[in-house]
Amino acid sequence: MDFTENSCREFVQILASREPVPGGGGAAALVGAVGTARGNMVGSLTVGKKKYAAVEAEIRDLKCQCDELQSQLLDQVAADAEGFAPLALAYGIAKDNPDRASVLEEATVGACDVPLHIMELCGQALEVLAVLAEKGSRLAVSDAGCGAVCLRGALQAASLNVLVNTASLQNRDKARELEEKCQRLLDRYEPIAEGIYRTVRQSFCR
């Protein structure tokens, strides 16, 4: 089911229910798409303005990147639900089944894939927003800041959906590999989000 076809109210109601999906990964993906869209708005309010003619081509390119990232992040809502399905089935295997442990281990590793990809997409979006915040319309700079805050939250939320799975892995080497990848993404992109937010906030301080 593509939960992004639901209304906002319906989506939130499902998130609040006992249903296993959409879960934290799906929520992170949606918030990431919203954050990217706020940056995209900066571009929309910049193109066509004589004041920003010198960066027109660059801003149009950044908007195209935002369009693609928004679409990909929304796609991850369904992808995360699909990625959780094998894990849900694995938990349902009888505990005396000799294959249960290996099936559960494989499904747990697989459940990390989409949250990690969500983190990557949020990071890419933050890199785009950093440029939009610097070169885009000053009238919409708060939207770039808002987008960065949303993307940072989505990045961090997705990371927790990785860590909740690695915590239960029996293969600790694989767990550390995934956790290190997760941490590298946080280390790379959290400072970008914080930098955008601080720059935007300081622009309003007198």
Spatial distance between the Cα atoms of 17 and 24, rounded to a whole number of angstroms: 13
Cα 70 from Cα 205, distance rounded (Å): 31
Please name the residues in contact with 166: beta carbons below 8 A apart, sequence gap of 6 or more: 108, 112, 174, 175, 178, 179, 182
Q: Which pLDDT score, from 0 to 100, does residue 34 have?
A: 98
- What local confidence, expressed as pLDDT, does residue 205 receive? 81
pLDDT for 1 equals: 67
pTM of the predicted model as reported, rounded to 2 decimal places: 0.94
Distance CA 90, CA 110 (A): 12
Question: Which structural domains are found in the chain, ordered by start?
Answer: 20-203 (1.20.120.680)
Q: Which residues of the chain have pLDDT under 50?
A: none
Position 66 scores a pLDDT of 98
pLDDT at 20 (0 to 100): 81
Query: How much is the pLDDT for 50?
Result: 95
Those residues whose C-beta lies under 8 Å from the C-beta of residue 156, and which sit 6 or more positions away, are 186, 190
